[in-house]
A and B are shown apart, each in its own frame.
Chain A
Amino acid sequence: GAGVSQSPSNKVTEKGKDVELRCDPISGHTALYWYRQRLGQGLEFLIYFQGNSAPDKSGLPSDRFSAERTGESVSTLTIQRTQQEDSAVYLCASSSQAGGTDTQYFGPGTRLTVL
């Protein structure tokens, strides 16, 4: 597609369940970012993938959070044993990193609600 897509758009789950969120970046974009946006808050960086390099996981808030990306394609963010404080919008962005501006293109996000 033309832009970054994410699925599902909305996810409601019960506390303690695992969830998996998916991001399809723009084709050819080597960099992929995951962010968390809590209600009324800014973007909280979670994890960054660049090509085949080791990902930067420095933003992951706990070991319940993990993410994978195969090559330069789809990425999945997994949250295990979800807690109510995990409720947020999870945004994915990709960039080409070809040239200087490294502009990020965002997907519409997945709204996660943990009951």
Chain B
Amino acid sequence: GEDVEQSLFLSVREGDSSVINCTYTDSSSTYLYWYKQEPGAGLQLLTYIFSNMDMKQDQRLTVLLNKKDKHLSLRIADTQTGDSAIYFCAEKGGSYIPTFGRGTSLIVHP
């Protein structure tokens, strides 16, 4: 089946930029998503990108998509302690069921 891979942990200093990477295998991916999960909560959609786009920016968030390499990244500028959470990458192609990665735990320290 299709697969989505993410590194499990990322630690950054407050005020620095964070970059969370994701790779996927589905060549027919149409939509790619980033979700944030805070402790004890469900997943919250942060942003998404269509597969025909290279980049999408939304305030402190920048999503970059390299469709050739099937690589997606999420950059968080000026990372704050409130950004500490688990970030999930997900893709949806021909199937109506998205495939999620295992999540990257972002730890922001002073």
Give the B-binding residues of A (Cβ under 8 A): 4, 6, 31, 33, 35, 40-43, 45, 48, 50, 56, 59, 91, 93, 97, 100-109
CB of B75 closer than 8 Å to a CB of A: no
- Chain B binding surface, main DSSP class: strand
A and B contact pairs by CB, cutoff 8 A, 27 listed: A6-B42, A35-B100, A40-B102, A42-B4, A42-B100, A42-B101, A42-B103, A43-B100, A48-B97, A56-B97, A91-B43, A93-B42, A100-B30, A100-B50, A101-B31, A101-B48, A102-B31, A102-B92, A102-B96, A103-B33, A103-B45, A103-B48, A106-B42, A106-B43, A107-B42, A108-B41, A108-B42
11 other A-B residue contacts (CB within 8 Å) besides A35-B100, A50-B96, A104-B98: A43-B100, A91-B42, A97-B96, A100-B30, A101-B48, A102-B92, A104-B45, A106-B35, A106-B44, A108-B41, A109-B41
| Measured CA separation A44–B78 after assembly (Å) | 32
Chain A residues near B103: list those with CB within 8 A. Answer: 42
A33 touches B101 (CB 8 A): no
B97 touches A109 (CB 8 A): no
Chain A residues near B94: list those with CB within 8 A. Answer: none
Chain B residues near A100: list those with CB within 8 A. Answer: 30-31, 50
Q: Tell me which residues from 38 to 89 in chain B have a Cβ below 8 Å from any Cβ of chain A.
A: 40-45, 48, 50, 88
Chain B residues near A31: list those with CB within 8 A. Answer: 96
